Amino acid sequence: MPSPNDLYSDLIARVTKAALLGSCSAVLGWDRETYMPPGGNEHRANQLSLLAGQTHEWATDPRIGELLNELSDSALADAEDSDTAVNLREIRRSYERSVKLPQKLVEEISRVTALAQHHWAQARSDSDFSAFAPWLEQIVKLKQEEAAAVGFAEDGEAYDALLDEYEPGMTSREVAGVFDALRSELVPLLSDIQGASRQPDVSILSREYAVERQAELGREAAAAIGFDFEKGRLDVTTHPFCSGFGPGDCRLTTRYDPAFFSSSFFGTLHESGHGLYEQGLRADAFGTPLGSACSLGIHESQSRMWENLVGRSRAFWEHFYARTQTAFPEALGTTSLDDFHFAINAVTPSFIRVEADEVTYNLHIMLRFDLERDLIAGRVAAADIPDVWNERFTADFGITPENDADGCLQDVHWSAGLFGYFPTYALGNMYAAQFFQAAGEQLGDLDEQFRRGEFAPLLAWLRQHIHEHGQRFCASRLVEVVSGKSLSNQPLMNQLNGRFRPLYGIA
Amino acid sequence: MPSPNDLYSDLIARVTKAALLGSCSAVLGWDRETYMPPGGNEHRANQLSLLAGQTHEWATDPRIGELLNELSDSALADAEDSDTAVNLREIRRSYERSVKLPQKLVEEISRVTALAQHHWAQARSDSDFSAFAPWLEQIVKLKQEEAAAVGFAEDGEAYDALLDEYEPGMTSREVAGVFDALRSELVPLLSDIQGASRQPDVSILSREYAVERQAELGREAAAAIGFDFEKGRLDVTTHPFCSGFGPGDCRLTTRYDPAFFSSSFFGTLHESGHGLYEQGLRADAFGTPLGSACSLGIHESQSRMWENLVGRSRAFWEHFYARTQTAFPEALGTTSLDDFHFAINAVTPSFIRVEADEVTYNLHIMLRFDLERDLIAGRVAAADIPDVWNERFTADFGITPENDADGCLQDVHWSAGLFGYFPTYALGNMYAAQFFQAAGEQLGDLDEQFRRGEFAPLLAWLRQHIHEHGQRFCASRLVEVVSGKSLSNQPLMNQLNGRFRPLYGIA
């Protein structure tokens, strides 16, 4: 009879094999966005479909279920939070979720969302929600079926089952709780900012910024905060992303606008933050939960921390601004650090989430969270989304989208079936601030370090306290372990109040 | 009971699935050479090994053998050279070869050659054959075992079984026959050229050629001969190659030397020739023999034709030289077309095969063919290779390598276990000339077309007569079908005599 160690090795080998094949898909997906010629699209779809199907087959191999059962009483599963117990717990979690989903439903969701994304793109281009409405209705129905198949707590709701895929262990009620608290402080802050007499000169950022020098500067900044270009790359895509292929190979992308500084610079810092997390995962645990990212929210916390809490801090620019002026003497030669720093921290309500500032961004997310929760609960019909969206948007932002392309059609997520994904963005902001506060308490004056261009201590701290844990803890427990407190909106509000009130000259 | 058509569809689906997975490896292999950061090497090896293993498993699925047997008496296999008969014949050929090889031997060859390539690279760098000798000895032994497992005709030799992998249906004796005939005419041509009073000024090609403009010109030339950049790319690698991922996506690579015109320009034409073949394969037959290249020799015939028979013709440069002078006014502004054309057709014995001209290149190949045939037959021991190489080289070229790096250690092939591969290069030259002659007979004055920059008629002819056949005919039959004659050295010698004798002013 095989020993528990043998069974465990067998299990890990199976799980790792599926992950290794999945990482091949990542390479093909990256190439599709970066270098693939247009003619390759159809064959690439066939390749990716084959890899996805085979990865799913290996990941749902019934032998994995048997091995999990055979190991459930062994000592390997005993010691909570031990390496083996974590892997067994998390492999079981994702395996059980996978096998609960009928193959037919998985294929139907895949088929419908592939078509729906095409129709969404067309509808957005035409700014015509009615063309997308029947697709949204169909997807909502399928996601309701998915939620019913996966199941959720008796005192919970269907949306929990969807959220759980991206933020394991988190419930709608918890999210709503922290969002409500955050909202109650964001709204007055935004109102104060809008009423402030001091306002930034954002035209500073829309001068001429040669693409080549933006690329050089972005690469320099990514390397400065610790992204290892021996183990990664930075390329150009229409929609920036970060894709970790596995140990030693993480790909970032960005886009350059020759007449706007922020999108590539802060986009590069953002993706580098994701990349630092990928590069910090345990190489020896590749393919297992211990070597995988904790949750989407935690992933986002890393990108947001480097982009905003580090990258928009005054200390960062005290170090980096001279270099930036040298790169763009005509655009910035006579602009003061204060004016530049104020400009990159401008807060203004706007229609498009991905272009939003740090204050209004969270309001964008809350709107989507509430609406998609209502859709899944059946409280709102797909056809009513434009009205509901615009009413809520006007209430929250004081402006009304003139068309659906700038409103409820702007994001790809719903057409792709990604219900439960949006809240992880705002959770990421909150995690980031809470982690950053803990890091500051433990590492001393971070600003002083940034002023000297020293980012290694913060990165080492993140490696040790977050990256190397993989999925040892679920996100909310990780927050407690790292900061000693449960998730709260206070660290984020401290950040926002601490940065924006002085800038805007408000109390 | 399933119909023969059902069984055939099942067979094709299995074979295509394996090929589709193999094409994923091609993407990962291309990325490794072009964009992968150094740190990705180990993980990439794991990915490629997984894909190779799974592709092999699918390609050798016993059900394929059963289906082949069930279909062997059906009408689908009947009509010789029909689509279904061709696929059944060629699927059987490669399936039977695969299953004849013991898994243990395949793994041992893979393991030893992976190590041996590393030791070869070190030995070449140190120019120390003795460090590589034991590896070569081991590989020869394994390839002898492979040949014995695959089998060969009673009146044949073990080397035939290895050659058959790259040039199906061709035997050592046939190759030796055409090589001997070719040799008997090449040697006097080379001797005449070396004794000629007119010699080219090759310094023309070693002036300053800005890399950016080389890239632009090479891309323009590739597009001019018909390479479709909507369905392909051109990137930079240390060792140029062409990799067809499947319908609509073919990747070429080249390298640029700012102080040498020929390597990137003719290298790009060469790889474009391979690429045109890949782009000309039947998209609807992807993954099956009908949609696959006929042989390595036929593949090489396409690259060599565009590189040499088209690209080094005077007619090509009558069209393209003015454009080239405009691109490099300082290097070529005052250089005549005649002098340029003579320079790109210089013939000089040299040590390194990949830098050899069209005349001596074939002698390089014959040397390797004879030596590797002797190694496999056991007539020459691995340890004796440097002596045998140098003696033969001196006799053929009139110069003696000063070290093994410039001699028997220059090529990667033997360390990679690629015995039987070398002759396909020279066969490619012969096929190219014979096809080109037939094209000229059928299309009228090709030179006149080239002078007008018209390459589409030749490409359309190649598509129809060669590319679209895939593996319908084996290489030697394809030559007969296309040219009406069996393979001969005459077309190649006519080409070489017709181009070089006038240039060098010899009779």
Per-residue model confidence as pLDDT tens digits over A9-57? 999 999 999 999 999 999 999 999 999 999 999 999 999 999 999 999 9
Q: Could you give the CA distance from residue B445 to residue B429 in angstroms, rounded to a whole number? A: 21
Structural contact between residues A303 and A266, judged by C-beta atoms closer than 8 angstroms: no
Q: Which amino acid is at B379?
A: R
* Cβ <8 Å between A54 and B54: yes
Structural contact between residues A461 and A302, judged by C-beta atoms closer than 8 angstroms: no
Residue-level pLDDT at A81: 83
Neighbours of B156 (CB within 10 A): 15
Q: Which residues of B touch A236 (CB under 8 A)?
A: none
Residue tagged active-site, from A146, A271, A278, A300: A271
Which of the listed residues B100, B117, B132 is the one where a domain comes to its end? B100
In a domain, A453, yes or no: yes
Q: Which residues of A touch B233 (CB under 8 A)?
A: 35, 37
Name the minimum distance, in Å, from the CA of B112 to any CA of chain A. 24
Task: Dig out the tokens for B58 from the structure.
Answer: 């699918």
Q: Could you give the CA distance from residue B47 to residue A286 in angstroms, rounded to a whole number? A: 12
Domain count, chain B: 2
Among the partner-chain residues A43, A233, A245, the one whose CB lies closest to the CB of B245 is A43
pLDDT > 90? residue A114: no
Per-residue model confidence as pLDDT tens digits over B197-216? 999 999 999 999 999 999 99
Average pLDDT of the segment spanning B43-60:
93
DSSP one-letter code for A101: S
For residue B168, the SS3 value is coil
Q: Could you give the CA distance from residue B503 to residue A237 in angstroms, rounded to a whole number? A: 50
Residue tagged active-site, from B90, B167, B174, B271: B271
Structural contact between residues B376 and B162, judged by C-beta atoms closer than 8 angstroms: yes
Residue-level pLDDT at B343: 98
Q: Could you give the CA distance from residue A279 to residue A272 in angstroms, rounded to a whole number? A: 10
Residue-level pLDDT at B79: 81
* Cβ <8 Å between B232 and A39: yes
Per-residue model confidence as pLDDT tens digits over A263-296? 999 999 999 999 999 999 999 999 999 999 999 9
* Cβ <8 Å between B17 and A233: no
* Cβ <8 Å between A38 and B230: yes
Q: Give the up-direction half-sphere exposure of residue B373: CA atoms within 13 A in the CB hemisphere.
A: 17
Neighbours of B38 (CB within 10 A): 10
Name the minimum distance, in Å, from the CA of B463 to any CA of chain A. 19
- Establish whether B271 is a catalytic residue: yes
Neighbours of B62 (CB within 10 A): 9
Q: Encode B318-347: b = buried (16+ Cβ within 10 Å), e = exposed.
A: bbbbeebbebbeebbeebebeebbbbbbbb
Q: Which residues of B touch A228 (CB under 8 A)?
A: 39
Q: Could you give the CA distance from residue B431 to residue B465 in angstroms, rounded to a whole number? A: 13
Q: Do B229 and B342 reside in the same domain of the chain?
A: yes
Among the partner-chain residues B28, B43, B50, the one whose CB lies closest to the CB of A248 is B43
* Cβ <8 Å between A50 and B246: no
Banded model confidence at residue A107, pLDDT cuts 50, 70, 90: confident
Nearest CA in chain B to A19: B47
Per-residue model confidence as pLDDT tens digits over B256-301? 999 999 999 999 999 999 999 999 999 999 999 999 999 999 999 9
Nearest residue to A392 (alpha-carbon basis) of A372, A377, A411: A372
In a domain, A62, yes or no: no
pLDDT > 90? residue B80: no
Q: Is B116 left (phi over 0), alpha (psi -120 to 50) or beta?
A: alpha
* Cβ <8 Å between A248 and B20: no
**Rounded to 5 degrees, what are φ and ψ at B227?**
-65, 130
Taking CB atoms and an 8 Å cut-off, how many pairs form between chains A and B?
A: 109
Residue-level pLDDT at A198: 97
Q: Which residues of A touch B232 (CB under 8 A)?
A: 37, 39
Neighbours of B111 (CB within 10 A): 11
Residues 6+ apart with CB under 8 A from A79: A85
Per-residue model confidence as pLDDT tens digits over A217-256? 999 999 999 999 999 999 999 899 999 999 999 999 999 9
pLDDT > 90? residue B178: yes
- In terms of Cβ atoms closer than 10 Å to its own Cβ (0-12, 13-18, 19+), residue A330 is exposed
Q: Could you give the CA distance from residue B403 to residue B448 in angstroms, rounded to a whole number? A: 46
3-state secondary structure B1-65: CCCHHHHHHHHHHHHHHHHHHHHHHHHHHHHHHHCCCHHHHHHHHHHHHHHHHHHHHHHCCHHHH
Average pLDDT of the segment spanning A336-358:
97
Residues 6+ apart with CB under 8 A from A499: A312, A313, A345
Q: Which amino acid is at A240?
A: P
Q: Could you give the CA distance from residue B52 to residue B46 in angstroms, rounded to a whole number? A: 10
In a domain, A488, yes or no: no
Nearest residue to B226 (alpha-carbon basis) of B25, B463, B459: B459
3-state secondary structure B245-262: EECCEEEEEECCECCECH
| Residue numbers of the domain that contains A212 | 202-347+433-471
* Cβ <8 Å between B24 and A47: yes
Chain B residues contacting A, CB < 8 Å? 17, 20-21, 23-24, 27-28, 31, 35-44, 46-47, 50-51, 54, 228-233, 235, 245-249, 286
Q: Mutate which of A15, A17, A30, A47 to disrupt the B interface (most B C-beta within 10 Å)?
A: A47
In a domain, A250, yes or no: yes
For residue B244, the SS3 value is strand
Q: Mutate which of B14, B21, B27 to disrupt the A interface (most A C-beta within 10 Å)?
A: B27
Name the minimum distance, in Å, from the CA of B64 to any CA of chain A. 19
Q: Do B297 and B442 reside in the same domain of the chain?
A: yes
* Cβ <8 Å between B248 and A42: yes
Q: Give the up-direction half-sphere exposure of residue B392: CA atoms within 13 A in the CB hemisphere.
A: 17
Long-range pairs of B113-120 with CB within 8 A, sequence gap ≥ 24: B113/B139, B113/B415, B113/B416, B113/B417, B116/B415, B116/B416, B116/B417, B117/B412, B117/B415, B117/B416, B119/B415, B120/B409, B120/B412, B120/B414, B120/B415
In a domain, B495, yes or no: yes
In a domain, B122, yes or no: no
In a domain, B142, yes or no: no
* Cβ <8 Å between B231 and A37: yes
Q: Do B85 and B228 reside in the same domain of the chain?
A: no
Which of the listed residues B100, B121, B151 is the one where a domain comes to its end? B100
Residue-level pLDDT at B188: 95
DSSP one-letter code for A169: T
Per-residue model confidence as pLDDT tens digits over A474-485? 999 999 999 999
* Cβ <8 Å between A39 and B248: yes
The three-point CA angle A134-A140-A145 to 5° equals 130
Nearest residue to A86 (alpha-carbon basis) of A1, A168, A174, A171: A168
Residues 6+ apart with CB under 8 A from A45: none
Q: Which residues of B touch A233 (CB under 8 A)?
A: 35, 37
* Cβ <8 Å between B35 and A235: yes
Q: Give the up-direction half-sphere exposure of residue B272: CA atoms within 13 A in the CB hemisphere.
A: 26
In a domain, A156, yes or no: no
Share of chain B above pLDDT 90, in %: 95
Q: Give the up-direction half-sphere exposure of residue A152: CA atoms within 13 A in the CB hemisphere.
A: 22
Among the partner-chain residues B46, B228, B249, the one whose CB lies closest to the CB of A20 is B46
**Rounded to 5 degrees, what are φ and ψ at B350?**
-150, 165
Q: Which residues of B touch A230 (CB under 8 A)?
A: 37-39
Task: Kindly report the average pLDDT of chain B as a whole number.
Answer: 96
* Cβ <8 Å between B232 and A37: yes
Residues 6+ apart with CB under 8 A from B457: B443, B449
Residues 6+ apart with CB under 8 A from B114: none
Chain A residues contacting B, CB < 8 Å? 17, 20-21, 23-24, 27-28, 31, 35-44, 46-47, 50-51, 54, 228-233, 235, 245-249, 286
* Cβ <8 Å between A37 and B247: no
Per-residue model confidence as pLDDT tens digits over B110-121? 889 988 999 999
What's A251's domain CATH number? 1.10.1370.30
Q: Could you give the CA distance from residue B44 to residue B28 in angstroms, rounded to a whole number? A: 8
Per-residue model confidence as pLDDT tens digits over A67-94? 999 999 898 888 888 999 999 999 999 9
Q: Which residues of B touch A35 (CB under 8 A)?
A: 35, 233, 235
Among the partner-chain residues A40, A51, A232, the one whose CB lies closest to the CB of B37 is A232
Average pLDDT of the segment spanning A149-154:
96
Structural contact between residues B252 and B235, judged by C-beta atoms closer than 8 angstroms: yes
Q: Could you give the CA distance from residue B363 to residue B380 in angstroms, rounded to a whole number? A: 20
Q: Which residues of B touch A23 (CB under 8 A)?
A: 43, 47
